[in-house]
């Protein structure tokens, strides 16, 4: 039991700073938002391990969910096409796809 629990904690503690670094350093805004949502949910797991389920609830709902949705909305308004990665990914690489314009 101790090994698994210890491994769980160490893994969380090791990955979270790395993820935080990625969120801050990435140039692609959309990628940053997606990583931020993942970061919030992992953070909520940390609160769970610290025996604070109420804080975990708040972190998941406000930190990841609500803030994530607001950030996505903001991104839509400022136009995510300006950022590097999102723009290039939107262009179909070869010929028109099966998508029909709706």
Which parts of this chain interact with other proteins (CB under 8 A)? Answer: 1, 4-5, 7-8, 11-12, 15, 19, 22, 30-31, 33-35, 37-38, 41-42, 44-45, 48, 51, 53-54, 56-57, 60-61, 64-65, 68-69, 72-73, 75-77, 80-81, 85-86, 89-90, 92-102
CB 30 within 8 A of CB 86: yes
Q: Is 33 exposed, middle or buried (0-12, 13-18, 19+ CB in 10 A)?
A: buried
Q: Report the nearest approach of other proteins to the CB of residue 17 (Å).
A: 14
Tell me if 48 sits within 8 A of 56, measured CB to CB.
yes
């Amino acid at each position: 039991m101790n090994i698994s629990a210890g491994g769980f904690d160490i893994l969380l503690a090791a990955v979270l700073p790395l993820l935080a670094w990625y969120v801050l350093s990435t140039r692609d805004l959309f990628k940053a938002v997606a990583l931020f949502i993942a970061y919030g949910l992992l953070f909520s797991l940390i609160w769970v391990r610290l025996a604070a389920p109420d804080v975990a609830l708040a972190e998941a709902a406000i930190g990841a969910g609500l803030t994530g949705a607001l950030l996505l909305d903001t991104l839509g308004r400022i136009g995510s096409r300006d950022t590097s990665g999102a723009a290039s990914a939107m262009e179909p690489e070869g010929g028109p796809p099966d998508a029909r314009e709706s």
